[in-house]
Amino acid sequence: MIDVKGLTKSFGKLDVLKGIDEHIYKGEKVVIIGPSGSGKSTFLRCLNLMETPTGGEIIVEGESITDPKANVNLIRRKMGMVFQHFNLFPHMTILRNITLAPTTLKLMTGEEADKTAMELLERVGLADKADSYPNMLSGGQKQRIAIVRALAMKPDVMLFDEPTSALDPEMVGEVLDLMKTLAEDGMTMVVVTHEMGFAREVASRVLFMDDGQVVEQASPEEFFSNPKSPRLKDFLSKVL
């Protein structure tokens, strides 16, 4: 589904990604972990061109998105993204936050969008918040709304950039639960996170990144019980 070939990214003289080759299959839940500064967020953000790669190629469903002629906006419609800091639009109601993109891009009429949004809100148990503004919500609620907002575009893949890192500990659970439900529904997901429990439970594959490269990858059982590279062993001994 997503094919990454020789991806590199530099900020000025700093090489953040040093050549990544990866394939993400449909329905896979790929969890990326690694120390901060290892390039895992940058890698994720390259997948929907939030960051422009310096070199290499990314092919999404047969289409090269790193081609300068590729229509970035069309590609992003099919790739939902959830941010660490939610990034809800504070001047709009929750309902409008969700319906803005589908209606502006003329993918749905106002009524359809409202209906879809209410159904999604119902599913995450926040239907009563439809007319509230984002700053009336708790962090966990905000992040669930942010996920719903991305889902309203009916994406083929969801990218999560440390979705629980900015949350109070007691709110992490509600967000992870929603992500688990999403995974069970068969959504293709790429998740950058520090939640090892989530990785163990939900991932179909765990990648360990360090110093701009994928150092090791395996199924979660293999990954956590039998790490091979010394760098990963060291990392796991610190976080587990």
Per CB under 8 A, 237 contacts other proteins: no
Q: Which of 21, 37, 110, 136 binds other proteins (CB under 8 A)?
A: 136
Burial status of residue 160 (CB atoms within 10 A of its CB: 0-12, 13-18, 19 or more): buried
In 3-state terms, what secondary structure has residue 177? helix
CB of 21 vs other proteins, minimal distance in Å:
25
Which residue from 184, 148, 150 is spatially nearest to 48, judged by alpha carbons? 150
For residues 3 and 63, give the distance between their C-alpha atoms in angstroms, rounded to a whole number.
10
- Of 98 and 232, nearer to other proteins (C-beta) is 98
For residue 138, what are the CA distances in angstroms to 171, 200, 203? 8, 27, 27
The yes or no reply on residue 69 touching other proteins (CB under 8 A) is no
Q: How far apart are CA 183 and CA 191, in angstroms?
A: 11
Give me the least distance between CB of 174 and other proteins, in Å please.
21
* Cβ proximity of 110 and 103 under 8 Å: yes
Under the binding rule (CB under 8 A), the answer on residue 182 touching other proteins is no
Q: Which residue from 9, 40, 149, 205 is in contact with other proteins, where contact means CB under 8 A?
A: 149
The answer to the question of residue 87 lying near other proteins (CB under 8 A) is yes
Binding mask 89-108 for other proteins (x = CB under 8 A): xxxx-------xx--xx---
What residue ranges bind other proteins (CB under 8 A)?
48, 50, 73-74, 76-77, 79-81, 83, 85, 87-92, 100-101, 104-105, 133-136, 146, 149-150, 153
